[in-house]
Each structure stands twice: as C-alpha cells, then as structure tokens.
A and B are shown apart, each in its own frame.
Chain A
Amino acid sequence: AQSVSQHNHHVILSEAASLELGCNYSYGGTVNLFWYVQYPGQHLQLLLKYFSGDPLVKGIKGFEAEFIKSKFSFNLRKPSVQWSDTAEYFCAVNAGYGNNRLAFGKGNQVVVIP
C-alpha cells in the first residue's frame, strides 16, 4: 500500500512569512499528486495537482508545488502567507491503484498570526 508522509504537523508563522510543507510518498511508478486544503469548519478543496509535464505546478491562491521524482517528494510552497491561509493542508497520492483512489497524508495544521 502507498504511504504518504507529511512532517511538522503544526506550523505557526506570521503574515508575510514564506511557507513550505513537505510531502513524501512511497511508490516508484507513475504517480498523480494532489494538495488539498481544509479551512476551519469547511470541507476539503483542491489546491493543485500534478499528473505529468512541468514539475512546478501552480495552484489557487498563490500556492505552488514542485514534484521531484528522485526524492519522491511533492512539496507545497507559498512565498508570502496571509491570515486567511490558516487551514489544514493535505497531500494525497494516487499510485498504482488502477482507479481514482487516493492515499492521504496526516495533514499539516497551519496557523498564520496577523
């Protein structure tokens, strides 16, 4: 079974600081990669996704992620966070299932202080 690792479960930072969240997965074949965000009290929404091509993917709200195949990583970044980025962020991987099933990481709880 695929596993997805997200480190630093709790992240606290000030507005305008840069954010980077790590995601590593354990599958050597072709992968489809996603980052989802869950704002307080809401359901999950897609931030960005990677299937193939340019390994630097841009998503909504100024987020981007870089796929590094040799490191089995798909790290999420934002150069300058806002208070409204306070949320939980989940990395998810589809790898070798033969269907659209996803394996999720445990999430990063990000708190941005005004």
Chain B
Amino acid sequence: NAGVTQTPKFQVLKTGQSMTLQCAQDMNHNSMYWYRQDPGMGLRLIYYSASEGTTDKGEVPNGYNVSRLNKREFSLRLESAAPSQTSVYFCASSEAQTSGRSHEQFFGPGTRLTVL
C-alpha cells in the first residue's frame, strides 16, 4: 500500500497563477484533509471532507477550493496564487469518527509551494 500520495512534491508559481494539488489514498478511508504548515504556526486545516460527496471549510479556507473527486482523491486548488500561500501543504486521510472516538490521521509527504 502506498498510503497517502501527493503530487507534485515541489512547485514554484508566480503571483496570480493557478494550480491544483493532487492527493490520493489507498486505505479506503472516508475522511480526507488538507493542511498548510508554516514555521511556528503548526498545521492549520484548510478544508476537509468528512465523507465522499461532502466538503467543509477549516480554519484558513480563503483563497482555496477543494474537490472530493471520489473516495480516493481529494484535490486542492489555488485559483490565483499569492505570496502568502507559500507554504508546505499536507494531505491526510482517516477513518470517519465512530461513537465519538477519533481515528489516527495518516499524512502524505507534502508539497512545498513557493509563490513569487
């Protein structure tokens, strides 16, 4: 099993350009997440999808859109990139919460994005 995969690993954009970050998981998980990681800020949730067909905003959704394409895939789109979106982006997946009990989130290797 590959677990959670992300493409690309690195990307450099100019301000105003658009791009889509891809994420796929092969663990048959219901829930998927997109985070950004910035120095000294920890991980901040951008969007999540509790189950196929649903998406919800996290802490920092502005400037991003997501698509839960199917159970395996969850993409993150930057429509008009800004320097403030320079960050490392992590995708994660997990089982859905059951009986109030959370499950471990499994993380991908990350995408390092620089916006000039």
A interface list, Cβ under 8 A from B: 1, 6, 9, 30, 32, 34, 42-46, 49, 51, 90, 94, 97-107
Q: Is B105 touching A100 in the complex (CB atoms < 8 A)? A: yes
Q: Is A100 touching B97 in the complex (CB atoms < 8 A)? A: yes
**Interface stretch of the complex, out of B10-18, B19-27, B38-46, B74-82:** B38-46
Q: Give the contact-size bracket for chain B.
A: 20 to 34
In the complex, what residue of chain B is closest to A6 when comparing beta carbons? B42
B109 near A: Cβ within 8 Å? yes
* Interface SS, A side: loop
* Interface SS, B side: loop
Contact pick for B104, options A34, A90, A99, A104, CB 8 Å: A34
Enumerate 30 A-B pairs (CB-CB under 8 Å) in ascending A order: A6-B42, A30-B100, A32-B101, A34-B102, A34-B104, A43-B90, A43-B107, A43-B109, A43-B110, A45-B107, A49-B102, A49-B104, A51-B101, A51-B102, A90-B42, A94-B97, A94-B102, A99-B50, A99-B96, A100-B31, A100-B50, A100-B96, A101-B50, A101-B58, A102-B45, A102-B105, A104-B43, A105-B42, A106-B41, A107-B40
